[in-house]
Structure 1
Amino acid sequence: MLEDAPLSLDGGGGGQSLLIAGPPMTGKYDLMLRLLADVGERAVLITTGDPADQIRADYAEVADVAPESVGVVDCVSKQRGGDLVQDDLVRYASSPKNVTDIGMKFTDVYEVFREMDTTVGVGVHTLSELLMYLDPQDVYQFVRVLTRQVESEGWTTVAVINSTMHDEQVLHTMYEPFDTVINTREENGARELRVRDRRQAATAWTTF
Protein backbone atom coordinates (compact mmCIF):
# COMPACT_ATOMS: atom_id res chain seq x y z
CA MET A 1 0.00 0.00 0.00
CA LEU A 2 2.94 2.30 0.59
CA GLU A 3 5.20 1.15 -2.20
CA ASP A 4 6.37 4.66 -3.05
CA ALA A 5 7.01 5.75 0.53
CA PRO A 6 10.40 5.15 2.22
CA LEU A 7 9.09 2.63 4.73
CA SER A 8 10.30 -0.92 5.23
CA LEU A 9 7.43 -2.58 7.03
CA ASP A 10 6.78 -6.09 5.90
CA GLY A 11 5.81 -9.38 7.45
CA GLY A 12 4.80 -8.71 11.03
CA GLY A 13 6.87 -5.55 11.31
CA GLY A 14 9.31 -7.22 13.72
CA GLY A 15 8.10 -5.44 16.82
CA GLN A 16 8.55 -1.91 15.56
CA SER A 17 6.95 1.18 17.04
CA LEU A 18 6.07 4.20 14.90
CA LEU A 19 4.70 7.64 15.69
CA ILE A 20 2.98 9.67 12.97
CA ALA A 21 3.30 13.39 13.76
CA GLY A 22 1.89 16.24 11.72
CA PRO A 23 -0.56 19.12 11.51
CA PRO A 24 -4.31 18.56 11.08
CA MET A 25 -5.60 17.45 7.68
CA THR A 26 -2.30 15.92 6.55
CA GLY A 27 -3.48 12.30 6.35
CA LYS A 28 -2.20 11.00 9.70
CA TYR A 29 -5.26 8.85 10.45
CA ASP A 30 -5.42 7.35 6.97
CA LEU A 31 -1.69 6.66 7.05
CA MET A 32 -2.02 4.90 10.42
CA LEU A 33 -4.75 2.63 9.03
CA ARG A 34 -2.72 1.84 5.91
CA LEU A 35 0.39 1.00 7.93
CA LEU A 36 -1.57 -1.21 10.31
CA ALA A 37 -3.06 -3.08 7.37
CA ASP A 38 0.47 -3.62 6.03
CA VAL A 39 2.13 -4.87 9.21
CA GLY A 40 -0.42 -7.31 10.60
CA GLU A 41 -3.03 -9.87 9.69
CA ARG A 42 -5.21 -8.44 12.47
CA ALA A 43 -5.50 -5.08 14.22
CA VAL A 44 -6.26 -3.64 17.65
CA LEU A 45 -7.16 0.05 17.78
CA ILE A 46 -7.13 2.28 20.87
CA THR A 47 -9.49 5.13 20.03
CA THR A 48 -9.70 8.33 22.06
CA GLY A 49 -11.99 10.17 19.66
CA ASP A 50 -14.24 7.93 17.56
CA PRO A 51 -16.54 5.17 18.83
CA ALA A 52 -15.69 1.51 18.25
CA ASP A 53 -18.08 0.93 15.34
CA GLN A 54 -16.68 3.93 13.42
CA ILE A 55 -13.00 3.09 13.76
CA ARG A 56 -13.73 -0.56 13.00
CA ALA A 57 -15.49 0.41 9.79
CA ASP A 58 -12.66 2.74 8.77
CA TYR A 59 -10.00 0.08 9.29
CA ALA A 60 -12.08 -2.66 7.65
CA GLU A 61 -12.47 -0.55 4.50
CA VAL A 62 -8.71 0.01 4.21
CA ALA A 63 -7.66 -3.55 5.09
CA ASP A 64 -10.55 -5.34 3.33
CA VAL A 65 -11.50 -7.33 6.43
CA ALA A 66 -14.72 -7.84 8.37
CA PRO A 67 -15.29 -5.02 10.90
CA GLU A 68 -16.08 -7.54 13.64
CA SER A 69 -12.55 -9.00 13.28
CA VAL A 70 -10.99 -5.73 14.51
CA GLY A 71 -10.13 -5.35 18.20
CA VAL A 72 -10.92 -1.99 19.84
CA VAL A 73 -10.32 -0.23 23.14
CA ASP A 74 -12.97 2.52 23.02
CA CYS A 75 -12.13 5.41 25.37
CA VAL A 76 -15.04 7.67 24.45
CA SER A 77 -18.39 5.88 24.27
CA LYS A 78 -18.84 5.33 28.01
CA GLN A 79 -18.11 8.98 28.71
CA ARG A 80 -20.49 10.14 25.95
CA GLY A 81 -23.22 7.66 26.80
CA GLY A 82 -23.20 6.17 23.30
CA ASP A 83 -24.34 2.72 22.23
CA LEU A 84 -21.88 0.02 23.24
CA VAL A 85 -20.93 -2.78 20.86
CA GLN A 86 -21.03 -6.07 22.74
CA ASP A 87 -18.47 -8.62 21.56
CA ASP A 88 -15.28 -10.31 22.66
CA LEU A 89 -12.94 -7.96 20.77
CA VAL A 90 -14.20 -4.62 22.15
CA ARG A 91 -13.48 -3.15 25.56
CA TYR A 92 -14.60 0.21 26.96
CA ALA A 93 -12.32 2.40 29.05
CA SER A 94 -13.96 4.93 31.32
CA SER A 95 -12.49 7.98 29.54
CA PRO A 96 -9.33 9.29 27.83
CA LYS A 97 -8.29 10.65 31.23
CA ASN A 98 -7.65 7.22 32.73
CA VAL A 99 -4.58 5.59 31.17
CA THR A 100 -4.53 2.90 33.86
CA ASP A 101 -7.98 1.75 32.78
CA ILE A 102 -7.04 2.05 29.10
CA GLY A 103 -3.99 -0.13 29.73
CA MET A 104 -6.04 -2.76 31.55
CA LYS A 105 -8.65 -2.86 28.79
CA PHE A 106 -5.91 -3.14 26.18
CA THR A 107 -4.38 -6.08 28.03
CA ASP A 108 -7.78 -7.82 27.93
CA VAL A 109 -7.90 -7.54 24.12
CA TYR A 110 -4.18 -8.26 23.79
CA GLU A 111 -4.64 -11.60 25.56
CA VAL A 112 -7.45 -12.56 23.17
CA PHE A 113 -5.27 -11.87 20.14
CA ARG A 114 -2.25 -13.64 21.65
CA GLU A 115 -4.28 -16.84 21.63
CA MET A 116 -4.88 -16.48 17.88
CA ASP A 117 -1.19 -16.93 16.93
CA THR A 118 -1.33 -14.16 14.32
CA THR A 119 0.55 -10.93 13.53
CA VAL A 120 -1.16 -7.83 14.90
CA GLY A 121 -0.84 -4.10 14.32
CA VAL A 122 -1.78 -1.91 17.29
CA GLY A 123 -2.99 1.63 16.56
CA VAL A 124 -3.39 4.57 18.96
CA HIS A 125 -5.51 7.47 17.75
CA THR A 126 -4.53 9.85 19.24
CA LEU A 127 -1.91 10.72 21.84
CA SER A 128 -2.97 14.36 21.56
CA GLU A 129 -6.34 13.54 23.09
CA LEU A 130 -4.60 11.92 26.09
CA LEU A 131 -2.35 14.95 26.44
CA MET A 132 -5.38 17.23 26.72
CA TYR A 133 -6.12 15.65 30.10
CA LEU A 134 -2.84 14.20 31.35
CA ASP A 135 0.69 15.22 32.19
CA PRO A 136 3.13 14.37 29.37
CA GLN A 137 5.13 12.12 31.71
CA ASP A 138 2.02 10.04 32.44
CA VAL A 139 1.34 9.64 28.72
CA TYR A 140 5.01 8.84 28.14
CA GLN A 141 4.94 6.07 30.74
CA PHE A 142 1.73 4.66 29.25
CA VAL A 143 3.29 4.61 25.78
CA ARG A 144 6.50 2.95 27.01
CA VAL A 145 4.56 0.15 28.70
CA LEU A 146 2.27 -0.28 25.71
CA THR A 147 5.02 -0.43 23.08
CA ARG A 148 7.06 -2.90 25.14
CA GLN A 149 4.02 -5.11 25.63
CA VAL A 150 3.28 -5.05 21.89
CA GLU A 151 6.93 -5.58 20.96
CA SER A 152 7.12 -8.64 23.22
CA GLU A 153 4.84 -10.44 20.74
CA GLY A 154 6.72 -9.17 17.67
CA TRP A 155 3.78 -6.92 16.81
CA THR A 156 3.95 -3.30 15.63
CA THR A 157 2.56 -0.14 17.25
CA VAL A 158 1.49 2.85 15.15
CA ALA A 159 0.40 5.96 17.08
CA VAL A 160 -0.67 9.43 15.97
CA ILE A 161 -0.02 12.90 17.42
CA ASN A 162 -1.08 16.37 16.24
CA SER A 163 2.21 18.25 16.10
CA THR A 164 0.62 21.71 16.22
CA MET A 165 -1.12 21.11 19.56
CA HIS A 166 2.05 20.69 21.63
CA ASP A 167 5.31 22.50 22.21
CA GLU A 168 8.66 21.06 21.14
CA GLN A 169 9.48 19.71 24.59
CA VAL A 170 6.25 17.69 24.76
CA LEU A 171 6.70 16.44 21.21
CA HIS A 172 10.24 15.22 21.87
CA THR A 173 9.04 13.49 25.05
CA MET A 174 6.43 11.66 22.97
CA TYR A 175 8.96 10.81 20.24
CA GLU A 176 11.35 9.09 22.65
CA PRO A 177 9.58 5.71 23.15
CA PHE A 178 9.20 5.11 19.40
CA ASP A 179 11.71 3.52 17.04
CA THR A 180 10.59 5.69 14.13
CA VAL A 181 8.86 9.05 13.70
CA ILE A 182 6.93 9.72 10.49
CA ASN A 183 6.28 13.42 9.87
CA THR A 184 3.41 14.43 7.59
CA ARG A 185 2.64 17.71 5.84
CA GLU A 186 0.61 19.13 2.98
CA GLU A 187 2.64 20.84 0.28
CA ASN A 188 1.04 22.36 -2.82
CA GLY A 189 -2.10 20.29 -2.31
CA ALA A 190 -0.21 16.97 -1.92
CA ARG A 191 0.24 14.98 1.27
CA GLU A 192 3.86 14.16 1.98
CA LEU A 193 5.80 12.21 4.59
CA ARG A 194 9.34 11.80 5.77
CA VAL A 195 10.76 9.08 8.00
CA ARG A 196 13.24 9.47 10.85
CA ASP A 197 14.60 6.67 12.99
CA ARG A 198 17.37 6.33 15.55
CA ARG A 199 19.90 5.00 13.08
CA GLN A 200 19.78 7.53 10.24
CA ALA A 201 18.89 11.05 9.19
CA ALA A 202 15.42 11.90 7.97
CA THR A 203 14.47 10.81 4.46
CA ALA A 204 13.40 13.27 1.81
CA TRP A 205 9.74 14.30 1.72
CA THR A 206 7.73 11.81 -0.36
CA THR A 207 4.14 11.94 -1.59
CA PHE A 208 1.85 9.29 -0.12
Structure 2
Amino acid sequence: MKEYSLGIDNFGKDVREGTNILFTAPPLSGKNAFSRNFFYQGLKDNEGCVYVTTTEETNSILKWFKENKEVDLDEFEGHFGIVDCVTKSQELSEIKGKSIKYASNPGDLTDIGVKISSFLKDFYKSDDLDGIRLIIDTISVILMYSNVKTVFRFLHTFSGRIRSTDAVALYILEEGDHDRKTIQTLKQLVDLSLEAEESEGNRMIKFSGQINSDWLKYAVNNNNMKIIS
Protein backbone atom coordinates (compact mmCIF):
# COMPACT_ATOMS: atom_id res chain seq x y z
CA MET A 1 0.00 0.00 0.00
CA LYS A 2 1.27 3.43 -0.96
CA GLU A 3 1.92 5.89 1.85
CA TYR A 4 2.33 9.64 1.43
CA SER A 5 4.67 11.83 3.44
CA LEU A 6 3.16 15.00 4.87
CA GLY A 7 6.49 16.82 4.61
CA ILE A 8 6.49 17.88 8.28
CA ASP A 9 9.94 17.70 9.86
CA ASN A 10 10.31 15.61 13.01
CA PHE A 11 6.83 14.06 12.68
CA GLY A 12 7.52 10.69 11.13
CA LYS A 13 3.95 9.69 10.26
CA ASP A 14 2.62 9.17 6.75
CA VAL A 15 -0.93 8.88 5.43
CA ARG A 16 -2.48 6.05 3.45
CA GLU A 17 -3.34 6.28 -0.22
CA GLY A 18 -6.83 7.62 -0.81
CA THR A 19 -6.63 10.12 2.06
CA ASN A 20 -8.34 13.52 2.03
CA ILE A 21 -6.94 16.08 4.48
CA LEU A 22 -8.44 19.33 5.79
CA PHE A 23 -6.10 21.85 7.44
CA THR A 24 -7.92 24.58 9.36
CA ALA A 25 -5.67 27.31 10.68
CA PRO A 26 -5.61 31.07 11.42
CA PRO A 27 -3.59 33.65 9.51
CA LEU A 28 0.20 33.59 10.01
CA SER A 29 0.07 30.00 11.25
CA GLY A 30 2.38 28.56 8.61
CA LYS A 31 -0.35 26.84 6.58
CA ASN A 32 1.03 28.47 3.45
CA ALA A 33 4.44 26.91 4.08
CA PHE A 34 2.78 23.58 4.91
CA SER A 35 0.75 23.43 1.70
CA ARG A 36 3.75 24.24 -0.47
CA ASN A 37 6.04 21.82 1.34
CA PHE A 38 3.33 19.17 0.97
CA PHE A 39 3.35 19.89 -2.77
CA TYR A 40 7.16 19.90 -2.97
CA GLN A 41 7.38 16.66 -0.98
CA GLY A 42 5.31 15.02 -3.69
CA LEU A 43 7.64 16.26 -6.40
CA LYS A 44 10.63 14.87 -4.52
CA ASP A 45 8.80 11.55 -4.14
CA ASN A 46 8.20 11.30 -7.89
CA GLU A 47 4.48 12.00 -7.66
CA GLY A 48 2.22 14.03 -9.92
CA CYS A 49 1.12 17.14 -8.02
CA VAL A 50 -1.72 19.56 -8.74
CA TYR A 51 -1.67 22.90 -6.92
CA VAL A 52 -4.81 25.02 -7.06
CA THR A 53 -4.16 28.59 -5.98
CA THR A 54 -6.99 30.99 -5.17
CA THR A 55 -4.88 33.63 -3.41
CA GLU A 56 -1.66 34.17 -5.39
CA GLU A 57 -0.81 34.22 -9.06
CA THR A 58 1.52 31.66 -10.61
CA ASN A 59 4.47 34.03 -10.83
CA SER A 60 4.37 34.54 -7.06
CA ILE A 61 4.33 30.79 -6.45
CA LEU A 62 7.24 30.13 -8.80
CA LYS A 63 9.17 32.91 -7.07
CA TRP A 64 8.43 31.37 -3.66
CA PHE A 65 10.01 28.06 -4.68
CA LYS A 66 13.08 29.78 -6.11
CA GLU A 67 13.60 31.85 -2.96
CA ASN A 68 12.69 29.26 -0.32
CA LYS A 69 13.65 25.95 -1.94
CA GLU A 70 16.22 27.20 -4.45
CA VAL A 71 14.42 25.21 -7.10
CA ASP A 72 13.03 26.08 -10.50
CA LEU A 73 9.76 24.16 -10.89
CA ASP A 74 10.55 23.77 -14.58
CA GLU A 75 12.92 21.01 -13.42
CA PHE A 76 9.78 18.99 -12.63
CA GLU A 77 8.07 19.56 -15.97
CA GLY A 78 5.43 16.89 -16.50
CA HIS A 79 5.22 16.13 -12.78
CA PHE A 80 3.12 19.08 -11.64
CA GLY A 81 0.23 21.29 -12.65
CA ILE A 82 -0.84 24.67 -11.33
CA VAL A 83 -4.47 25.78 -11.59
CA ASP A 84 -4.27 29.55 -11.22
CA CYS A 85 -7.60 31.12 -10.20
CA VAL A 86 -6.13 34.60 -9.68
CA THR A 87 -4.34 35.84 -12.80
CA LYS A 88 -7.33 36.14 -15.15
CA SER A 89 -9.65 37.68 -12.56
CA GLN A 90 -7.04 40.34 -11.75
CA GLU A 91 -6.02 40.80 -15.40
CA LEU A 92 -2.38 39.97 -14.70
CA SER A 93 0.18 38.70 -17.21
CA GLU A 94 -0.01 34.98 -17.90
CA ILE A 95 3.00 32.69 -17.92
CA LYS A 96 2.82 30.20 -20.75
CA GLY A 97 3.50 26.53 -20.16
CA LYS A 98 1.76 23.17 -20.30
CA SER A 99 2.05 22.87 -16.50
CA ILE A 100 -0.09 25.98 -15.91
CA LYS A 101 -3.82 26.36 -16.51
CA TYR A 102 -5.80 29.51 -15.77
CA ALA A 103 -9.33 29.43 -14.39
CA SER A 104 -11.49 32.50 -14.92
CA ASN A 105 -11.92 33.22 -11.19
CA PRO A 106 -12.13 31.41 -7.82
CA GLY A 107 -15.90 31.14 -8.10
CA ASP A 108 -16.05 29.33 -11.42
CA LEU A 109 -16.10 25.79 -10.03
CA THR A 110 -16.91 24.25 -13.40
CA ASP A 111 -13.83 25.80 -14.98
CA ILE A 112 -11.64 24.95 -11.99
CA GLY A 113 -12.94 21.39 -11.94
CA VAL A 114 -12.24 20.83 -15.63
CA LYS A 115 -8.67 21.99 -15.26
CA ILE A 116 -8.01 19.92 -12.13
CA SER A 117 -9.49 16.87 -13.85
CA SER A 118 -7.29 17.37 -16.90
CA PHE A 119 -4.12 17.26 -14.79
CA LEU A 120 -5.33 14.34 -12.67
CA LYS A 121 -6.22 12.34 -15.77
CA ASP A 122 -2.78 12.88 -17.29
CA PHE A 123 -1.02 11.92 -14.07
CA TYR A 124 -3.20 8.85 -13.55
CA LYS A 125 -2.39 7.61 -17.07
CA SER A 126 1.35 8.06 -16.56
CA ASP A 127 3.44 4.98 -15.81
CA ASP A 128 6.34 7.09 -14.59
CA LEU A 129 4.74 8.50 -11.42
CA ASP A 130 4.55 6.91 -7.98
CA GLY A 131 1.44 8.71 -6.76
CA ILE A 132 -0.78 11.78 -7.15
CA ARG A 133 -1.38 14.79 -4.90
CA LEU A 134 -4.01 17.53 -5.08
CA ILE A 135 -3.72 20.75 -3.06
CA ILE A 136 -6.44 23.41 -2.95
CA ASP A 137 -5.13 26.59 -1.31
CA THR A 138 -7.56 27.86 -0.14
CA ILE A 139 -11.17 26.72 0.04
CA SER A 140 -11.97 29.86 2.03
CA VAL A 141 -11.67 32.07 -1.05
CA ILE A 142 -13.92 29.71 -3.03
CA LEU A 143 -16.50 29.99 -0.25
CA MET A 144 -16.54 33.77 -0.75
CA TYR A 145 -18.01 33.13 -4.22
CA SER A 146 -20.20 30.07 -3.56
CA ASN A 147 -22.36 28.72 -0.76
CA VAL A 148 -21.23 25.78 1.34
CA LYS A 149 -23.61 23.30 -0.35
CA THR A 150 -22.15 24.07 -3.77
CA VAL A 151 -18.58 23.84 -2.49
CA PHE A 152 -19.39 20.60 -0.68
CA ARG A 153 -20.65 19.03 -3.92
CA PHE A 154 -17.56 20.26 -5.76
CA LEU A 155 -15.18 18.81 -3.17
CA HIS A 156 -17.23 15.62 -2.85
CA THR A 157 -16.49 14.86 -6.50
CA PHE A 158 -12.76 15.19 -5.99
CA SER A 159 -12.59 13.52 -2.59
CA GLY A 160 -14.20 10.47 -4.18
CA ARG A 161 -11.77 10.57 -7.07
CA ILE A 162 -8.84 10.80 -4.63
CA ARG A 163 -10.00 7.63 -2.90
CA SER A 164 -10.64 5.72 -6.11
CA THR A 165 -7.23 6.56 -7.61
CA ASP A 166 -5.16 5.98 -4.43
CA ALA A 167 -4.11 9.62 -4.43
CA VAL A 168 -4.00 12.15 -1.58
CA ALA A 169 -5.53 15.62 -1.27
CA LEU A 170 -5.01 18.62 0.99
CA TYR A 171 -7.63 21.34 1.41
CA ILE A 172 -6.71 24.56 3.24
CA LEU A 173 -9.34 26.45 5.25
CA GLU A 174 -8.88 29.82 6.95
CA GLU A 175 -9.97 29.66 10.58
CA GLY A 176 -12.10 32.57 11.70
CA ASP A 177 -13.70 33.07 8.28
CA HIS A 178 -16.34 30.36 8.70
CA ASP A 179 -18.88 29.25 11.27
CA ARG A 180 -18.68 25.90 13.02
CA LYS A 181 -21.45 24.41 10.86
CA THR A 182 -19.48 25.12 7.67
CA ILE A 183 -16.32 23.57 9.09
CA GLN A 184 -18.17 20.49 10.33
CA THR A 185 -19.85 20.08 6.93
CA LEU A 186 -16.50 20.09 5.14
CA LYS A 187 -14.97 17.72 7.67
CA GLN A 188 -17.43 15.06 6.52
CA LEU A 189 -15.42 14.80 3.30
CA VAL A 190 -12.05 14.07 4.84
CA ASP A 191 -10.17 11.28 6.59
CA LEU A 192 -7.73 13.49 8.47
CA SER A 193 -8.19 16.92 10.04
CA LEU A 194 -5.38 19.22 11.10
CA GLU A 195 -6.10 22.19 13.34
CA ALA A 196 -3.63 24.89 14.30
CA GLU A 197 -3.83 27.56 16.98
CA GLU A 198 -1.62 29.82 19.05
CA SER A 199 -1.56 29.19 22.80
CA GLU A 200 0.50 31.20 25.27
CA GLY A 201 2.80 32.34 22.52
CA ASN A 202 3.31 28.83 21.12
CA ARG A 203 2.11 27.49 17.81
CA MET A 204 0.16 24.27 18.34
CA ILE A 205 -1.22 21.67 15.94
CA LYS A 206 -3.57 18.73 16.46
CA PHE A 207 -4.32 15.73 14.23
CA SER A 208 -7.71 13.98 14.22
CA GLY A 209 -8.96 11.03 12.19
CA GLN A 210 -6.59 8.67 10.44
CA ILE A 211 -3.84 10.09 12.68
CA ASN A 212 -4.72 11.21 16.19
CA SER A 213 -2.59 13.33 18.48
CA ASP A 214 -2.72 15.70 21.40
CA TRP A 215 -1.83 19.32 20.77
CA LEU A 216 1.77 19.41 19.55
CA LYS A 217 4.08 22.40 19.52
CA TYR A 218 5.47 23.31 16.13
CA ALA A 219 7.61 25.96 14.50
CA VAL A 220 8.02 27.31 10.99
CA ASN A 221 11.70 27.89 10.21
CA ASN A 222 12.96 28.76 6.74
CA ASN A 223 9.43 28.02 5.51
CA ASN A 224 9.56 24.44 6.83
CA MET A 225 7.09 23.17 9.41
CA LYS A 226 8.69 21.21 12.25
CA ILE A 227 7.18 19.47 15.29
CA ILE A 228 9.19 20.46 18.36
CA SER A 229 7.34 18.57 21.08
Question: Shorter-chain TM-score: what band?
Answer: 0.7 to 0.9
Distance change >3 Å, CA 200–CA 28, structure 1 → 2: closer
Aligned pair count? 204
The one-letter code sitting in structure 2 at the alignment partner of 1:72 is I
- Aligned with residue 108 of structure 1, among 118, 127, 134: 118
* Alpha-carbon distance, 1:139 to partner: 0.6
Query: Aligned partner of 2:19: which letter?
Result: Q
**Structure 2 residue identity aligned to 1:102:** I
Following superposition, the deviation at residue 190 of structure 1 comes to 3.5
Secondary structure at the aligned position of 1:80 is classed as coil
Between Structure 1 and Structure 2, which shows a larger proportion of strand residues? 2
Instruction: Name the residue aligned to 2:140.
Output: 128
CA shift in 2, pair 1:64/1:47, >3 Å:
same
Change (3 A) 1:17 1:86: same
How far the C-alpha of 1:135 sits from its partner, in A, is 0.5
Which of 164, 186, 203 is 2:214 aligned to?
Answer: 203
Sequence identity percentage? 22
TM-score normalised to structure 2 length: 0.79
* 1:176 counterpart (176, 182, 188): 188
TM-score with structure 1 setting the length: 0.87
Amino acid at match of 2:98: D
Cα gap change, 1:125/1:63 in structure 2, threshold over 3 Å: closer, same or farther? same
1:29 aligns with 2:38: no
Change (3 A) 1:24 1:53: same
Residue matched to 1:18: 21
Q: Could you say what the CA RMSD is over the residues aligned between the two structures, in angstroms?
A: 2.3
Give yes or no for the alignment of 1:138 onto 2:150.
yes
In 2, Cα distance between equivalents of 1:65 and 1:153 = 29
Pairing 1:96–2:96 present: no
Q: 1:103 to 1:169 in 2, by over 3 A?
A: same
Q: 1:120 to 1:59 in 2, by over 3 A?
A: farther
Q: Does residue 53 in structure 1 map to residue 59 in structure 2?
A: yes
CA distance in 1, matches of 2:96, 2:200: 44
**Equivalents in 2 of 1:18, 1:148: separation in Å?**
13
Deviation of 1:141 (Å): 0.9
1:87 aligns with 2:129: no
Q: Which residue of 1 aligns with 2:174?
A: 162
Mapped partners of 2:12, 2:184: distance in 1: 22
Greater shift, 160-169 or 48-57, is seen at 48-57
Gap runs ≥5 in structure 2: 1-6, 219-225
Q: CA deviation at 1:106?
A: 0.9
Quick check: which one's helix share is greater?
1
**Paired amino acid for 1:55:** I
Offset of residue 193 of structure 1: 1.1
Unaligned runs of 5+ in 1: none
Q: Give the counterpart letter for 1:87 in structure 2.
A: G
The residue that corresponds to 2:4 in the other structure is none
Structure 1 pair 3–79 and aligned structure 2 pair: CA distance change class (3 A): closer
